[in-house]
Amino acid sequence: MTLAQPPTERLFSYGTLQLASVQMSTFGRLLVGVGDALTGFEQAMLPIEDPAVAAALGQTHYAMARYTGRASDVIPGTVFDLTPDEILSADQYEIDDYARVAATLQSGMRAWVYIDARDAESVQRAPD
């Protein structure tokens, strides 16, 4: 598959965007990623309200990153290289409970990450 745009955006995923079925339905391709981790966050679980979505994903809850600011709190995941259009597709995939923010990962790499929308303002003000 040839992409219309080169991948210029990085997205850190710790949840359903790591699933091949979600990647195919959201981006139309399988993504290649590298392992990394998000520090200063703890993982919480958000119930999936739509029974059809829960059945399709084979799970009852979404993973959610909640900001703590503690270096001891770490969420493992995967960094994917996406095109700007694919980032917009990811925005459409995520429910309103999430906000996309820029973060520095454990490796020092900067990437977009979807976190609990209630924490977005705190994260955007937190020093990197």
Cβ 14 vs Cβ 38: under 8 Å: yes
| 66, burial (CB in 10 Å: exposed 0-12, middle 13-18, buried 19+) | middle
CA-to-CA distance for 1 and 21, rounded, in angstroms? 17
Q: Please write the tens of the pLDDT for every residue from 53-74.
A: 778 878 888 889 999 999 999 9
Q: Please write the tens of the pLDDT for every residue from 76-115.
A: 999 999 999 999 999 999 888 889 999 999 999 999 999 9
Sort residue 80 into left (φ over 0), alpha (ψ -120 to 50) or beta. Answer: beta
DSSP letter assigned to residue 96: T
Question: What pLDDT, on a 0 to 100 scale, did the predictor assign at position 3?
Answer: 59
Domain annotation for the chain: domains and CATH numbers: 9-123 (3.10.490.10)
Of the pLDDT bands very low, low, confident and very high (cuts 50, 70, 90), residue 125 is: low
pLDDT at 6 over 90: no
